[in-house]
Amino acid sequence: MSKKLQLGRDAKIATSPDAAVLDAVPNPHKDTDYVARFTAPEFTSLCPVTGQPDFAHFVFDYCPGKSLLESKSLKLFLFSFRNHAAFHEDCTVMIGKRIVDAIKPKYLRVASFWYPRGGIPIDVFWQTGKLPKDVWLPDPGVPPYRGRG
């Protein structure tokens, strides 16, 4: 776990995802299986080919182990993608792997719903670990893209 949390102090947005830090905090209910959800409806990154902005709605569902993911550090980590050029699949899997490295959850599902550019929306799903028995995992809650009509 990070000794000096970004929470409660002035913390700058990292210049790249590699430079960003994800903070872990102790899980006060590590003896209980449950799902925690973060939603980031305004994620942005850059297309690695054209440099144009890409926009996505992310939903993170995880069953914590010994650690929780601190939300301010997640926000700053996601902000660090604003000038990062990568394909949708790369962003989604990279984010998931970084969360796993930071908190080692029992289970993590990352769902990313990318807004269309060029007429094709792309949805990317990545998960790891095993969902504990009898834990309810809700639907991500983001409807498929239907266009304007």
Active site amino acids: 47, 54
Q: Whole-angstrom Cα distance, residue 123 to residue 143?
A: 11
Answer left, alpha or beta for residue 134, where phi above 0 means left and psi between -120 and 50 means alpha: left
Number of alpha helices (DSSP H) and beta strands (DSSP E) in the chain: 2, 6
CA atoms of 94 and 22, how far apart (whole Å):
13
